[in-house]
Amino acid sequence: MAPAIRYEQARALLDDAFAQVATSDIVPIRDALGRIAAEDVKSTIMLPETNNAAVDGYGVSSAFLAANPDHLFKVVGVAKAGHPLKEAIEDGQAVRLFTGAIIPKGVDCVMMQEFCAVDGTNVRFPSLMSSGKNSRPAGENLAIGERVITKGCVIGPADIGQAAAAGISSIAVFKPLRICVISTGDELVDVASSKKKTTGQIYDSNRPMIAALIEQAGHQVIDGGIIEDNKDALADAYRRATQECDVIISSGGASGGDEDHSQAALADCGAKSLFWRVAIKPGRPVAASILDGKPVFCLPGNPVAVYVCTHLFVLPTLHKLASGTFKPLTSLKIKAGFAVKKSPNERAEFMRVKLTLTNDGETVMLPHGRKGAGVLSSLTGADGLAELPYELGEVPEGQKLPFIML
C-alpha cells in the first residue's frame, strides 16, 4: 500500500485531473441564488446615476456659504426621492432636500435638518460645509463598465441586490451538476424507509449529510441508495452511476479491511486511481479515482471525516467541473485558545472549533464538541475547522493557526 500523501498534493491532483463540463443557462436574477455565474456581468449605468442627498436637510452652494457665513438663505424649492427639482438653485438660495433626492444644479452640499435654523421660508446655517458634504456622488456605488458579478462566483443575496440595482434582470449561470451519492455497509438503515433497525444496525447519516452539502453548493443529487458490503454489488452501483451522473461519491468501505470494497470494486470497473490515503485526521482513507472520465470519491465511513473530506476535496472539484476554477479554501489566521500536541510530519489535523472573544476583545478558537471522527454532534454549532499543519508537533496556546470557515 502506497504511503499517504499530503492533502495539498491531493487537491493539486484533483485540480489537474478535471476540467469544466457544465454548460450554461440564462435565469432571472431572482432565481440565481446559490448558482455559479457563467459570465462577468458589468454595469451599464452609474449608481447612483446623479448626485443625491444622503440626509434630510437643506442644500446650498458651499462656495457662497464660505463667502457669506451669516447669510439668511431663502428656500426656493423642495426635492424628494423620485420627485426632482428641475430648476437650478442660485447663489444665496437654498433647497429643501430629502434623502435620495437628486441634488439640483447650483447645490453641492447638504446640512442635516437638525442643525439648521429655519425661519418660515428662510434658513441659516451654523457652520461652513465642504463641497460634497452629505452628498452621494454619481457613480459612488457603481461606475459604467464596473463589474457587478464575477464569473465563477457563487451568487449570493448581495450580488442579486447589486445586479437588480444596476438594472440586470437575468444572468448566465452554469447548469447544476448531477451527483450520485452512495452509502455502503450492511449495518446501515435508511432513516426515510419503513425498515426498522435491529441490534448492530445504525441509521445512515452520511448520505443525507453529503446530499445537503451538495445541494447547498447548487448541484443536483441523485440518490444511489445503500449498497451492501459486496464488491460486485458496489462495482455495479459505480457503473450505473456513470451512466447518468457527472460525479459519484460513496462513503464507507474506503479503508483496507476485509469488508472495505471500494478500491477493489473500482479496479474491477477499470477506474484510474488518483490517490488513496491522505495524511489528514480525520479522513485518512479518502480516495479519488477516474471512471469513464468522471470523478469518483470514496470517503471514509465516519461522519466527521466525511464532512471534512467533502469540504477539502469534493466541493472544490465540483466547482472546477462547474466553472473551470478549482475553489480555494477560505482560510484565516486566528489564535488558538488551547494547547495541543500531535505527531509532527505524520498528518495534518482538523479540529472542530468555535470562535469566541477574550476579555481583551480578541478572537480566539476553542475546541468544539467531543473528540472522535464518529461524533457527528461536534459539527453542529461549530464555526469551522482549525488546521494543525502537517509539520507541526506542538501548538502552544496563543499560536495563530489556519481557520477554515464552513
State in Å, rounded, how far the first CA of the chain is from the last one: 32
Question: Residue 406: what pLDDT?
Answer: 80
| Contact status, residue 328 vs residue 23, Cβ threshold 8 Å | no
Question: Residue 377: what pLDDT?
Answer: 78
Question: Residue 266: what pLDDT?
Answer: 97
Question: Residue 255: what pLDDT?
Answer: 76
- Cα separation, 76 vs 90, in Å, equals 9
Q: Which domains does the chain have, with CATH numbers?
A: 7-22+176-323 (3.40.980.10), 24-47+151-174 (3.90.105.10), 52-136 (2.170.190.11), 331-405 (2.40.340.10)
Q: Which three cell numbers stand for residue 134?
A: 452629505
Question: Residue 1: what pLDDT?
Answer: 64
What residues are paired with 114 via a beta bridge? none
Write the DSSP symbol of residue 196.
P
Nearest to 95 by CA among 81, 82, 111: 111
Local structure of 159: helix, strand or coil? helix
pLDDT mean by block of 10 residues, the chain; 406 residues = 89 97 96 95 94 97 97 97 95 97 97 96 97 95 94 94 95 97 95 85 95 95 96 96 97 77 95 97 96 97 95 97 92 95 94 94 92 79 95 94 92
pLDDT digits 0-9 by tens, 348-367 = 999 999 999 999 999 999 99
Judged by phi (left if over 0) then psi (alpha if -120 to 50, else beta), residue 277 lies in left
333 burial (CB, 10 Å; 0-12 / 13-18 / 19+) is exposed
Distance of CA 243 to the CA centre of its chain: 30
Site of grid cell 495539498: 8
What residues are paired with 78 via a beta bridge? 96
Question: Residue 258: what pLDDT?
Answer: 64
Other CB atoms within 10 Å distance of the CB of residue 393: 11
Q: How many CA atoms lie within 13 A of 118 on its CB side?
A: 15
Q: Give all strands (DSSP E) within 302-347, no chain letters.
A: 331-336, 340-341
**Residues 351, 353, 357, CA angle at the centre, nearest 5°?**
145
Site of grid cell 433497525: 197
- Cα separation, 196 vs 202, in Å, equals 10
pLDDT digits 0-9 by tens, 253-291 = 877 766 678 999 999 999 999 999 999 999 999 999 999
| Contact status, residue 4 vs residue 345, Cβ threshold 8 Å | no
